[in-house]
Copies of this chain bind each other. A is one copy, B any other.
Amino acid sequence: MDKYRVTILVDDLEKRVTCESGSILMDVFHHNNVYIEAPCGGKGICGKCKVRILKGKVSDISDLESKYLSHKEKQAGYRLACMTRILGDVQVATKGQGEGAQILSTGLEYSVDISPSITKKYVELDVPTVDNPRDDLKRLAQAIGIESPYINISILRKLPQILRDSEFKVTVTYDSNRILDVEEGDTTKQSYGVAIDIGTTTVVCYLVDLTTGKQMDVISDLNAQRPYGGDVISRIQHAMESSDGLNRLREAIINQLSQLISKLAKKNCISIEHIYNIAIAGNTIMGHLLLGIDPRHIAAAPFTPGTTQAQIYDAHELGLKLGTASRVFLLPHISGYVGADIVAGILASGMDKSQKLSLIIDIGTNGEIVLGNRDKIVCCSTAAGPAFEGANIRHGMGGVSGAINTIILDDGNLKYTTIDNKPPLGICGSGIVDALAVLLDAGIVDETGRLLGRDEIESQIGLKLADRLTEVDHLPAFIIVDSKSSGTGEAIVITQKDIREIQLAKAAIAAGVKVLIKKMGKEVKEIANLYLAGGFGSYIDKGNAARIGLIPAELQHRIIAIGNSAGTGAMLSLLSLEQYKRTSIIKDMAEYIELSSTLEFQNEYVDSMYFHV
């Protein structure tokens, strides 16, 4: 088969590689350790892996790819790396994304000094003689400049043999004054970490090379605790109901993490013994269940967690099946409902370092909101419910294949797209926001959130869509996809109840934002950046989010989707002990505002309920 030369331009650097004819460009990047942002994992559904073909022959733009590129981008040679095949010698430029110390995540770039907690050092020791009879440990400790190291007994046991087998040439792995491992020869390059975001729904593990800072792989799975309850409250109930419920939940996640990490190691041909650091971010309840701490007191007022502080444990203390040297860095939580995932997000956003005021909204099961800058940070959690994740919505679904992800009105006609261009199966969060915006624009939903009767509709556009009004289970509803076009054989609708769910959720978020802004003594216009975290934030139509009142209209052009910022923050904590320590500084400076039962929040909540028409 033909081999083509691919010249990859990363910032000012050039990397020349070869590939076979027909190779997908993203695969070429991966095989040659060029990292490029691809939140969807190369499925062609996120449109984030844009690169610019400067020279050479590649495959034509497909219809799917075309959707993610503007006319201007196409003219400039931009393509999606995941959908472009190499058909000749090619020169390609990445958008400032490349090798080295950068971690990339949707909308944010980081340049972090790589200085993880552990150090690996290759040393050649003097061989003992009668004139130099220092003991083995002392010899080793002096070579790495540590006075009185702590050393795991298991390592101490193998030390004399390893030193003599290797003729006193060994690699020492250590963390401040703890010697974690000693290996024959030079293994300094084999140093890895795993950053983990434990979501209530999904667990994501990022494999990171601790010497280069590169993200090597990512793997995700549904949280294994899901059979015991879909949301945090039902998990807490399961933990309380039976004597071994808590332990069952703990074992589920611990075993899952062991398996996911083992899978990452195998897939990337690295020894599990070389995975030294694990950084974990997750919400407070997930953090408690991971440690086996009863979370019941978080469920009811005064919502007291067992612990919120950052903590470092040996992996085996947690029950993780990892190497002896493996240590787990738990990120701190702020309160029972603002967890380590949010702390990691703040870290990723750089809010705590910036002079500018920014707002973070993480819309998941709860809506956590953070407002601040380097001087002050306030945060809260709103019981926004999981409507924006498609839960409690009649035809709601997650952002997976076949979900309606965009809905637009084109000259009064309703149009939609689905993920992977599959026949529609339901509506995901961004589609729901679009649907509501469309209904408001069409005058079919009024400012109170009521779905009007056919006879009440006055707007021109609304009248065009009036045929789509129907009833489902005695509830007024609006048809997005009729039964013929639907992938399920059943019409896909938005019901009055769905609209109420969204309305309540957006009111809670909007009210939370207002409370925080007041608390800071600021105004909306002073907010420089609005960071939207989570998958939802990456796909949402910003205008429509403002249209339905989910976010302040003034900020719609200041939105930056930061994707899985919990994962990014965990990765930063993994790559730099300094960054990990910053999470505790963030925790300490963040003031948590308890919204429940405060009149101030209730007032704002009611005020935020209506839509602007």
A269 interface hit (Cβ, 8 Å): no
A1 interface hit (Cβ, 8 Å): no
A292-B153, A292-B157 known; A136 and B594 CB under 8 Å? no
Give the residue among A302, A312, A592 with the most B Cβ atoms within 10 A: A302
User: Which stretch, A125-133, A224-232, A484-492, touches the partner chain B?
Assistant: A125-133
Q: How far is the CB of A140 from chain B (nearest CB, A)?
A: 9
Contact A161 B303 (CB under 8 A): no
Contact B130 A302 (CB under 8 A): yes
A153-B291, A153-B313, A160-B294 known; A307 and B136 CB under 8 Å? yes
- Chain B residue numbers with a CB within 8 Å of A592 are 133
A293-B156, A304-B128 known; A309 and B148 CB under 8 Å? yes
Give the residue among A132, A153, A317 with the most B Cβ atoms within 10 A: A153
Contact A307 B148 (CB under 8 A): no
- Chain B residue numbers with a CB within 8 Å of A136 are 297, 304-307
**CA A132 – CA B336 in complex, angstroms?**
13
Partner of A306, one of B130, B135, B304, B307: B135
Q: Can you name 25 A-B residue pairings with CB atoms under 8 Å?
A: A128-B304, A130-B301, A130-B303, A130-B597, A133-B302, A133-B303, A133-B304, A134-B304, A135-B306, A135-B307, A136-B297, A136-B307, A137-B307, A137-B308, A138-B308, A138-B309, A141-B309, A148-B584, A153-B291, A153-B292, A153-B318, A157-B291, A157-B292, A160-B296, A161-B294
Known A128-B304, A135-B336, A156-B291; further 15 A-B contacts with Cβ < 8 A: A129-B302, A130-B594, A133-B335, A133-B592, A135-B304, A135-B305, A135-B307, A137-B308, A138-B307, A141-B309, A153-B313, A156-B306, A157-B291, A160-B296, A160-B306
- Spell out A's residues near B (CB within 8 Å): 128-130, 132-138, 141, 148, 150-153, 156-157, 159-161, 164, 291-294, 296-297, 301-313, 317-318, 335-336, 584, 592, 594, 597
Nearest 5 CB-CB pairs, A to B?
Answer: A137-B307, A135-B305, A128-B304, A130-B302, A133-B302
